[in-house]
Amino acid sequence: MLPLLEPGEEVLVYPGAYRQRSPQVGDLVIVQHPQRPTLQMVKRVGEILPTPTGDEFWVYGDNPAESTDSRQFGPVARSHLLGRVTCRFR
């Protein structure tokens, strides 16, 4: 699959999206890298794993050959989901 975003494109993010509802499979989100806290990435929620301490999320890039995502660093906590992408600008 081709990348969703091209260099120079910008996204509009709703940081409060998950105060009202839970993330859903397919949501495009801004996620904080679990091992590099200053790195924010655009990923898609692929799976939701219920755990006793709260849901964890597998996030994937739309271009798996070039993406760093949960296949490398594992699931992320809900606190790492910084917002939902609502639109993009070219």
pLDDT at residue 1, as a whole number? 47
User: Does residue 30 fall inside a structural domain?
Assistant: yes
1 belongs to a structural domain: no
Residue 78 lies in a domain: yes
Q: What is the 3-state secondary structure (H, E, C) of the chain?
A: CCCCCCCCCEEEEECCHHHHCCCCCCCEEEEECCCCCCCEEEEEEEEEECCCCCCEEEEECCCCCCCCCHHHHCCEEHHHEEEEEEEEEC
pLDDT at site 13: 96
Query: What pLDDT does residue 9 have?
Result: 87
- Quick one: which of 76, 87, 81 has its CA closest to 4? 87
Name the stretches of the chain with pLDDT < 50.
Answer: 1
Counting residues of the chain whose pLDDT is more than 90, the rounded percentage is 77
Q: Tell me, what amino acid is at 66?
A: E
Structural domain total, the chain: 1
Q: Report the predicted TM-score, pTM, of the whole model to 2 decimal places.
A: 0.89
| In a domain? residue 2 | no
What pLDDT, on a 0 to 100 scale, did the predictor assign at position 73?
Answer: 96
Residue 33 belongs to a domain with what CATH number? 2.10.109.10
Report the DSSP beta bridge partners of residue 28: 44
Domain extent at residue 77? 10-89
